[in-house]
Structure formats: structure tokens, C-alpha cells
Amino acid sequence: MSLSELWVILLFFGCFFNVVKLLENGLARSPPMGWMSWGYFMCSVDCDENPNKCLDEKLIKSVADTFFTDGYQEAGFEYIIIDDCWAEKTRDINGRLVPDRKRFPNGMKYLADYIHARGLKFGMYTNIADVTCMHYPGSKGHFEIDAKTFAEWDVDYIKVDGCFVGEDYLNTAYIKFGRSLNSTGRPMVYSCSWPYYIEYIHNKTPNYTNIVPYCNMWRNYHDVVKSWGSVKAIIRHYQSRYDQLNGYHGPGHWNDPDMLIFGTNSLTASQSRVHLAVYVMLSAPLLLSCDMRNMKDYEKQLLLNMDLVALAQDPLGLMAKPYQFQNSVTLWVKQHLPRKGDMYNSVSFALVNLNTKDVAVSFTPGDYGLNSTDAYTVMDTFTGKFTMNITLKDKINVIVPPEDVIMYSVFPL
């Protein structure tokens, strides 16, 4: 055998073993949408004291019911995810995790069935350490059995947190746990917090090339809390990190800026527009976290706006590119699937004003990757209404109100 033949054989086996080590679960081809308990319910386990803010079976069923009856499921909101604080403090005699007997009396398979019967998917949470961030049992030393347990409960999505462990452990354990999940044969979206802990707990730059092949999504930045300040910090973070992150973002693998805080009475109508618009432009996962009964009408209208959902779920899954503009307005530009033929891009623009004053803006859409020399039609993305036709040379002049966003989607004529 010649040396070059030997190389070909080595390369073949090298690739083969590499491929089977990777995630390869075919999931999250578009960014997951749904609901997750943490942002609003956090560790609300004292249900006798506070029955209206209680992380239990009734809550999870009620979210499934609302999604099913109020149009969220049809719009694409799919995953219902129980975050931390769902388990008993000790495993059973077989070493298995046990759902809290009082709050989840029928167990998790029952909830999975309930959720699946409504055309929705079921997500759960664990941590890669001995305990979870809130000190419930974690999965360290139990990867195989926990993956198997989640699979037996018909879980479709697993968020794996990264509190309380060292950097080296993070870099190996997430890969190992992913393998355990794969070996169950049940496809589960694998949501990692790996880069967040590398960067903000261990003060190192995450090696995304190493992370992306193993996780469907990953947190990059701090937890969202219920305030406009927190939303602004998240927006500014992703704006400043576009160059670092955009190459790792796409079908099957997403940067995750954390939950939306809709339905928590934290944002004004215009701040809510900004919050959702930026997440949509980023092709970020859209996970609500609230008591669904508190969702305001304007919030619901935004969430069920199918022009926005279509952008958020665009099959290309590109992160919008931010351009810092006049008077600190940011123009986010997102390429997405063409509406007509496939020669000419369709593009959406979001002018985001995080300031407390109006800002007058003037920009030429033709400068941002439009490739048809014919005209474009401009739609106001929020209203779905025709706004104007433009050529590549035309400017758009507009005033962006305080803490608000103006969004246009342009399609070649």
C-alpha cells in the first residue's frame, strides 16, 4: 500500500470517528421557540404559600393549554421547558432522578404525554455538576442514567447548565453528556451553557469551534432579568460581539441570548417591540417565560405576528449585522430567503433606538447588500403594510421614537 493510500484510509476513519462523536441529531434547524419556567417562576417551590406563582404540574399543563388554544402553537411556539427546581432532593435507590412528588405527582412522562397531545414538545433541565445551580441533584457521575431517564420520559429538549465546575471539566463533560444523550436514540435538543461559564466564570475566551459541533444552542451572556436595563445590556452585548459570534450561528446551532420577558409587566409597548425585533433579527431562540395569563394584548399580537415569526424562523438563520448609526441608533440588517425567485435577496432592516429621545435617521437600503437593480418594495414589518417602492439609490428618512424600533422588510419587485 502506498503512503497516499494509507492517508486516504486514515482520513476516512478519522472523519468517520469524528462524525459519530458529534451531535448530529438533526434538530433545531430553526431557532427553538417556546416557553421556559426560569425567567418568571425561578425556584417557586413554595406552592402552599404562593399558589399563584408555583412551579408545578398545573402550571406546565396550563402553558400547554394556552399554547394550544390561543394560537401560540400554530405560530410555532413549540417547546415547554421546565427549568431548575423540579426534582426531589435525592435520587431513588436505583440512582434515578425523581420529580418532586408533591408538585409533579404524576411524574414527567405524564406531562410529556399531555404536552405531546397538544402538538407541542417537552423540555427539562439539569446541570453538568453534582448539583444544579439551585442545589437540586445534578448529573455529574450520572450522565448515562440521566440521559436514559430523560429519554424514557419522552423529553425533546434538555437544557444543561454549567454551575460549580472547572473549565477543563466543562470542556469535556458537555461532549460526554451529549454522547450519552445520543446513545439513547431519542433526539433531544441539547442546550448548553458551556461558553457562558468559560467566559464569565472562568474568565477565558470560549473556543466556539470546539463547542458548536456538540450543542444545538448555547448561552453566551448573563441571565435575563425582568427589566429594560437587562434587555438593553443583552442587545448591546450581541451588537458588540457580532464578529465573534455570527460565524457560529445557523441551522442546528444557535447563540442563545436567553428568554424573552414578555408577559411579566416589565416593558412598555415600544420596549417590547425592541426586545422582540432584535431577537427576531438575530434569529435567536424565542423562549417566553411568564404567567401566560398576564400576557398583554399588544404583546400577544407581536408574538403572533407571522411576518416577524417568518423572519425569526427564516431557514437561512443568519444573524443580522449591526451598524452603529447617527446619534446612537443601530441599524440591524438581516439577509433572508428571497420572496421572489432566488436571484435577488430579500432583506430586513431594524432601526433600533435605545435612547430616551427621538432620533432622525437617513439611510440608503441599497448600500446594504441589495442585489437587484430593479426596484424593491418596502413593507413595514410590524404592520405588514406596503410603505413605498425604492431603487438602489433611494434614501429612507425616518424618525425613530425613543426606546423603539422601526422595521422594514424589502423584497425585489
In the complex, which residues of this chain contact ligand GLA (CB under 6 A)? 38, 83-84, 132-134, 161, 193, 223
DSSP class per residue in 387-413:
EEEE-TT--EEEEEPTTEEEEEEEEE-
Phi-psi region of 384 (alpha: psi -120 to 50; beta: other; left: phi over 0): left
223 counts as catalytic: yes
3-state secondary structure 59-84: HHHHHHHHHHHCCHHHHCCCEEECCC
Residues present in the chain in total:
413
CB of 159 to ligand GLA, least distance (A): 7
Helix (H) or strand (E) holding 333: strand 329-336
Residue from 161, 256, 314, 404 carrying the catalytic annotation: 161
Nearest-approach distance from CB 224 to ligand GLA, in angstroms: 8
Which residues does 265 contact at the CB level (< 8 Å), separation at least 6?
Answer: 294
Least distance from ligand GLA to the Cβ atom of residue 134, Å: 4
* Residue 163 or 378 having the CB closest to ligand GLA: 163
d(CA 67, CA 75): 9
Distance CA 165, CA 167 (A): 7
The angle at the Cα of 373, spanning 247 to 342, to the nearest 5 degrees, equals 50
Residue 224 per-residue DSSP state: P
C-alpha cell read off for 328? 446612537
Residue closer to ligand GLA (CB basis): 238 or 408:
238
**Least distance between ligand GLA and beta carbon 101 (Å):** 20
Q: Which is nearer to ligand GLA, 38 or 72 (CB)?
A: 38
Please report how close the Cβ of residue 291 comes to ligand GLA at its closest, in angstroms.
18
Contacts of 20 (CB under 8 A, 6+ apart): none
In this complex, which beta carbon is closest to ligand GLA, that of residue 38 or of residue 67?
38
Q: Considering Cα of 47, then 48, then 53, then 58, what sign does the dihedral take?
A: positive
Smaller CB separation from ligand GLA, 87 or 347: 87
Q: Specify the 3-state DSSP secondary structure of 363.
A: strand
Catalytic residue selected from 130, 223, 307, 394: 223
Assign 127 to helix, strand or coil. strand
Q: Which residues contact 408 (CB under 8 A, 6 or more apart)?
A: 348, 349, 365, 378, 379, 380, 381, 387, 396
When the beta carbons of 223 and 394 are compared against ligand GLA, the nearer one is 223
- C-alpha 410/C-alpha 407 separation (Å) is 10
Nearer Cβ to ligand GLA (28/370) = 28
Minimum Å gap between C-beta 404 and ligand GLA is 28
From residue 369, give the alpha-carbon distance in Å to each of 53, 280, 344, 349.
Answer: 48, 19, 10, 11
Cα(275)–Cα(404) distance, rounded to whole angstroms?
A: 9
The least CB distance from residue 349 to ligand GLA, in Å, is 31
* Collapsed DSSP state (helix, strand, coil) of residue 190: strand
- Of 84 and 100, the one with the shorter C-beta distance to ligand GLA is 84
Find the shortest distance in angstroms from Cβ 84 to ligand GLA: 3
User: Active-site residues: which are they?
Assistant: 161, 223
